[in-house]
Every structure is written in structure tokens, then in C-alpha cells.
A = this chain, B = another copy of it.
Amino acid sequence: MTGDRSDLPLVPDLNLINQSLAIVCGKWRLYIILLLGKQTLRYGKISEMLPGVSEKVLASELKTLVALGVMKRKAYAEIPPRVEYTLTKKGLLILPILKQIQEIGRIFN
């Protein structure tokens, strides 16, 4: 905020970090966001692409991500129901950073 920001402050802002972690952390969080990177997906499709995640956890993670403003949900009044998830503008903004995070895994292989 004040002065030069050529580098990050010596003592990083805990609130900022916690907010980042609130979005990134969680066993499936990153994976789900990455999956939605360039496509709109239906609930069933996400579920199918994520072998291992239980329905409850997937549903609650999606709900949280929508609440966080990372993605948006669009439900169609059809039978059978159809619900689609898409990244928001903010979600798209953080996408490159999220992709970078994968590089960490690569470095520590």
C-alpha cells in the first residue's frame, strides 16, 4: 500500500495469504478449478473426471467455490436437470497462478 512495492514486504500479509489458501487449499479445490479452466462443465462431467471424490464433497466444494466467487453456477429448468459450472472473471484471473502451482510439484518430483 505505502511506499515502494518492487518486492514483497519482509513480513508478508497473513490475511492475504489466508485468503489465498481459502481458495487454493482443499484436496480437490485446485483440481476442480483447473478442470474448468477452458470449458463449462456439468456436475456429472466433473464428477466423472474426478475419480475418487465423493458426491457430498464434490457438491460442497462446488458450493464453496461459487460462494468464493471463483465459479458460477447456472441451472436449467429442464428434466432431467442440467447444471453447468463456469469460471468467473476472477476465477479466470487466477487461473495462470493456479497453473504455476503445478510447477511446484514438478520441481519436487
Q: Identify the A interface with B (CB < 8 A).
A: 8, 11-21, 23-25, 27, 30-31, 34-35, 37, 49, 68-69, 90, 93-94, 97, 99-109
C-alpha gap A109/B11 in the complex (Å): 19
Mostly, the A contact residues are helix
Q: Is the CB of A8 within 8 A of B102?
A: yes
Q: Is the CB of B108 within 8 A of A90?
A: yes
Q: Is the CB of B104 within 8 A of A11?
A: no
C-alpha gap A25/B29 in the complex (Å): 12
Partner of A34, one of B12, B99, B103: B12
- Taking the nearest CB of chain B, how far is it from the CB of A61, in angstroms? 14
Q: Is the CB of B8 within 8 A of A104?
A: no
C-alpha gap A105/B12 in the complex (Å): 12
- Taking the nearest CB of chain B, how far is it from the CB of A40, in angstroms? 14
